[in-house]
Structure 1
Amino acid sequence: MPWFIWVKESEIMRKRVALLGIYHETNTFIDVATTLDDFKNGYWLERDAIRAEYQGAHHEISGVIEVIDASPDVDLVPVFYAMATPGGIISDETYEAIRFHMMAMLDDVLPVEGCIVVPHGAGVTPTNPDMDGHWLGALREKLGSNIPIIGTLDPHANVSPEMVLATDFLIPYRTNPHIDQFATGCKAAEVMLKTLCGDIKPAQKLFQLPLAISIEQQNTNAHPCKGFYEYAHQLQTEYQLLSAGILLGFPYADVKEMGSALIIASQNNSSQETENIENAGHALREYALVHLQDFDGKKVKIDSVLSDLLDAPKPVLALDIGDNVGGGAPGDSTYLLEYFEKKNIDGVFICLYHPESVKQCLNYQTGDTVKIDLGETDKTYPVEVTLQFVTAGVFQEDTPKHGGFVNYDMGTIAVVKTLLGNTIMLTTKRTPPYSIRQLTAFGLAPIDFNFIVAKGVNAPIAAYSSVCPTIAQLDTPGVTQADMTLFPYKHRRRPLFPFEKVVA
């Protein structure tokens, strides 16, 4: 027997990159906490289940998988990914359970030569209001200073210095609605590969702006964000930067990081690259300050535009800002439904999260009349409806849309119609309106409606703009209302426009 074992050189040289993340957009103005069940009923993926869910999809993880898998000398090691639908503050017990589990799973695959992370950037717990900074810091402590940590961010992240300090390179999506998540994941993975082979050593800097961009103005395809992003791309090219990332920020979080920011990154930390970062950061900051008033929203009430909407091309996409599920809202507000009913306006579609009514409908047959109490617990809206059908609310989205999701599950759904002729889809799982398949998969044709109420602000535009010639952002009441200055902040930074006056 030979005393040695022959191993191929290619096997010795292969590097391993871990993939992991905790993803949540936390609305601190919601009383109901986000729990472990919310994550387990959302996305709780371990090891190969991550690849099974996202390979070939439109998510940033999909982009990471594709790029790393194509590398001849790097292996991707999926570890753990947990995501819950946006909601209230994550309980400390929930966060600690997730973090402990993730770190234990990482221990099982160590050592690795790199780590790709997928945080959202706006997670909050009572003890750790900068949740993402906390778990990224713990990850850095575990891996040490020499292992590159590279990741993506949702542009609604409220970025802290701790997040940037704990990582080598963070890149946010460039679009809202988020339709470039796959490309963003590809970019993060490409930077990882170049870092591992020694071609670059990323350096990044955070610039927190004295500005919180109104949720209404965060559409990157429209003024003022369109010009802001175009200028960032121009500077990125001019200074040959790795990234000139804009973080729009998430205004419904009472944390000191709340607000808009920039992460500017270069290929190394040479004096010239450092100067380029500073120049680009200050130029973008000045651009934001010069255009401050443009970043404040219009806060349009439905009364003021109803006559215009009635005459506008149909269907109208009526965006219910105050009950934005993608911003953590419960998705059960009947404000616009009641408004249209009282005005005798028919041909309205609305989706409501209301498990109690779905359960009630299970006792009836198609065509039966059912009396249900919709709305919030302390403000019910009784309505008489005809049951159209009850079914499993599972569907798929095959094209890139906000969130990059492919598989959707609304739980059991009931579709009912009011006596006036308005259609209500009732769900047992809170589901953001990110896909038109939410209607078409169940035989509902958007063209048959005069108004489609979507509980969002910008995200539903990617799903519905192809069939809705008219789009209206409506300032409605709720925990995601348009005017952020009405929320009782205690911890946000100051000065911050539009709360305080800021000058260039």
Structure 2
Amino acid sequence: MKILIAMMKHETNTFSPIVTDWQRFENWSAHFGHKALAFYEHTGMPVAAYTKLAREAGADIVFPVAAEAMPAGIVTAEAYDRVSDAICDAVVAGCDLALLDLHGAMVAETTLDGEGTLLERIRSIAPDLPIAVTCDFHCNLTRKMVDNCTALIGYKTYPHVDMYQVGMQVGRIVLDSVAGKVHPVMVHTQLPLLSHTLKQGTDDQPVKSLITACREAETRDSVLAATFFGGFPLADVPDAGSSTVVVADADKLVAERQSRDIADLAWRQRAHFVYHGSSLPETIDEAKRLSEHPVILLDHADNCGSGGTQDVMAVIRELIERDLDGVAVAAVCDPEAVVHMQQAGVGAEMTLMLGGKTDMPSLSLEAKPLQVKGTVRVLTDGRWTVRGPMYTGVQVDMGPSAVFDTGKVKIVVVSVHHEPWDLGVFTSVGIQPQHEKYLLLKSRIHYRAGFASIGKKTLLCDGEGVTTSRNELLDFQNLRRPIYPLDEDVVF
């Protein structure tokens, strides 16, 4: 048996000004053939689970490509074609089974449904090919995705610490279907719900109850997999939002009932999917009053893990002006500032115009750099390996990086976007985060993977940026309407 394994992942924020070209894939992870297999086989990713299953089956492995880019704006046609062509060319060459690790929220210049378009193309080449698909929790599930694969599953954790496990689960389903042990049927249900990402943590309500419902459904005899997708609200596409999908063994009625039951549970709790913020000065004042440390401050509107520019200085400016002391920041993406620090050298005292290099036309926001005075403490190449529970074993490259110390605030400055979900974003540059009073992270929920165990309190800092939770500020043109909470009197 010949098994094709491939990865194509990107979470596209259509409001982000950052173009996702091929270089952006190379900046995070883009490997072909044997290099892709070697890079990912011993990690905690779905493709590693697929590889283990293929080896256990004694199959020949075809691994044409593994490509992922940090979330940003629309994927260029050239980058999308390079990845999807590699996968489809391998299907043309021949395989007995395809195990695919996709995201579910990719938008390219040529398609609003990157994954659905890929799967439809594969189906046209090999109509009877068994296909397994893993998707991110933030998948904007489409009919085209469901109709063109054998079994599809999503992560049950956010932060995503079960990627390997869901890869094993869906891979086994499709391998069992090839052996005639099961006969998968799928049903998905789309909710008119554009939930806020900040309310999608799977350790929190309302999502915690939905994950429990999915796990309970999977204990029933004919249910092979049940998934609730929070969806990705920052993609202006018709299918953006929450959904469910259930895979059952030859019993479509069971799949329909379970999918609808989970969706109904989500709809009844729809008001709890809406984030209501606080003023930034109030949040900083609250942080000052706390006595147990470290306190985690989330600059969530500028989260590069959802497509943020990672150079908005609004929150950093506020905490400096309000004289917050003992802060470590991860991270500001400013390659130009890193070059200036490299030229000055470690120990140099200097003034930087930091961040604020990127305009955000979708929000009518102009770039606003912040003048800071301080000392260059550390210079590194920005390379390290993830040791925490999310993306375990994956090699990170933040590009040339530095630590700029104002005396009260230590700022990690990177050249390549990277969301701080692992302690390595600090430890790789010599900062021990557990000993800082405050940790300002440009993250939303993923930070919990590495930092939840050390943080004594988490406060949400409502700053500026294209990962805003104020979805009413965004000009949706393609999104289906009506949809809650943007519209009133929505019926499901």
TM-score interval, normalised by the smaller of the two chains: over 0.9
Q: In structure 2, what is the Cα distance between the partners aligned to 1:94 and 1:52? A: 22
Partner of 2:349: 369
Partner AA of 1:355 in structure 2: P
CA contact (8 A) 1:19 1:117 kept: yes
CA contact (8 A) 2:381 2:400 kept: yes
Normalized against structure 1, the TM-score is what? 0.92
Partner AA of 1:400 in structure 2: P
Superposition pairs for residues 202-241 of structure 1, below 5 Å? 202-238=184-220, 240-241=222-223
CA contact (8 A) 2:283 2:460 kept: no
Partner of 1:243: 225
Partner of 2:119: 136
Q: In structure 2, what is the Cα distance between the partners aligned to 1:210 and 1:222? A: 21
* Cα drift, residue 503 of structure 1: 4.7
CA contact (8 A) 1:79 1:106 kept: no
CA contact (8 A) 1:86 1:326 kept: yes
Q: In structure 2, what is the Cα distance between the partners aligned to 1:503 and 1:294? A: 17
Q: In structure 1, what is the Cα distance between the partners aligned to 2:181 and 2:317? A: 60
- SS of structure 1 residue aligned to 2:434: helix
Partner of 1:84: 69
Partner of 1:163: 145
CA contact (8 A) 2:389 2:450 kept: no
* Cα drift, residue 106 of structure 1: 4.2
Superposition pairs for residues 144-159 of structure 1, below 5 Å? 144=127, 146-159=128-141
Partner of 2:259: 281
Most deviating of 377-386 and 173-182: 377-386
* Cα drift, residue 32 of structure 1: 3.0
Partner AA of 1:301 in structure 2: S
Partner of 1:32: 18
Q: In structure 2, what is the Cα distance between the partners aligned to 1:277 and 1:353? A: 45
Superposition pairs for residues 84-483 of structure 1, below 5 Å? 84-107=69-92, 110-144=93-127, 146-238=128-220, 240-268=222-250, 273-312=251-290, 313-350=292-329, 351-377=331-357, 378-401=367-390, 403-404=391-392, 406-418=394-406, 420-483=407-470
CA contact (8 A) 2:64 2:86 kept: no
Q: In structure 1, what is the Cα distance between the partners aligned to 2:202 and 2:449? A: 11
- SS of structure 1 residue aligned to 2:447: helix
Deviations 1:218-249 (A, max 9, x none): 10011111011112222332463111111110
- SS of structure 2 residue aligned to 1:57: coil
Identity %: 25
Q: In structure 2, what is the Cα distance between the partners aligned to 1:300 and 1:56? A: 43
- SS of structure 1 residue aligned to 2:42: coil
- SS of structure 1 residue aligned to 2:85: helix
Q: In structure 1, what is the Cα distance between the partners aligned to 2:393 and 2:311? A: 22
Q: In structure 2, what is the Cα distance between the partners aligned to 1:365 and 1:478? A: 31
- SS of structure 1 residue aligned to 2:245: strand
* Cα drift, residue 62 of structure 1: 1.3
Partner of 2:60: 75
Deviations 1:34-88 (A, max 9, x none): 11111122211112212211122111111111222122x4333222121111111
* Cα drift, residue 404 of structure 1: 4.5
Q: In structure 1, what is the Cα distance between the partners aligned to 2:453 and 2:277? A: 24
- SS of structure 1 residue aligned to 2:218: helix
- SS of structure 2 residue aligned to 1:178: coil
* Cα drift, residue 366 of structure 1: 2.2
CA contact (8 A) 2:131 2:149 kept: yes
* Cα drift, residue 154 of structure 1: 0.4
* Cα drift, residue 193 of structure 1: 1.7
Paired positions, count: 480
- SS of structure 1 residue aligned to 2:483: coil
Q: In structure 2, what is the Cα distance between the partners aligned to 1:61 and 1:152? A: 9
Query: Structure 1 residues 438 and 32, CA, compared in 2 at 3 Å: closer, same or farther?
Result: closer
CA contact (8 A) 2:354 2:369 kept: yes
Which of residues 479, 485, 489 is equivalent to 1:498?
Answer: 485
* Cα drift, residue 104 of structure 1: 2.9
Partner of 1:7: none
CA contact (8 A) 1:182 1:404 kept: no
CA contact (8 A) 1:212 1:249 kept: yes
CA contact (8 A) 1:414 1:425 kept: yes
Partner AA of 1:115 in structure 2: A
Most deviating of 310-319 and 427-436: 310-319
Partner AA of 2:77 in structure 1: D
CA contact (8 A) 1:322 1:478 kept: yes
* Cα drift, residue 105 of structure 1: 4.2
Partner AA of 2:75 in structure 1: I
Deviations 1:479-500 (A, max 9, x none): 0011222211011112211112
CA contact (8 A) 1:59 1:181 kept: yes
Q: In structure 2, what is the Cα distance between the partners aligned to 1:217 and 1:90? A: 27
Partner AA of 1:126 in structure 2: E
- SS of structure 1 residue aligned to 2:146: helix
- SS of structure 1 residue aligned to 2:388: coil
Which of residues 48, 55, 74 is equivalent to 2:41?
Answer: 55
* Cα drift, residue 173 of structure 1: 0.7
CA contact (8 A) 2:237 2:479 kept: yes
Q: In structure 1, what is the Cα distance between the partners aligned to 2:13 and 2:380? A: 31
Structure number, greater radius of gyration: 1
Q: In structure 2, what is the Cα distance between the partners aligned to 1:245 and 1:62? A: 21
Q: In structure 2, what is the Cα distance between the partners aligned to 1:239 and 1:246? A: 19
CA contact (8 A) 1:347 1:448 kept: no
- SS of structure 1 residue aligned to 2:267: helix
CA contact (8 A) 1:58 1:399 kept: no
- SS of structure 2 residue aligned to 1:125: coil
Indicate yes or no: 2:7 matched with 1:21: yes
Q: Which runs of 5+ in 1 are unaligned?
A: 1-14
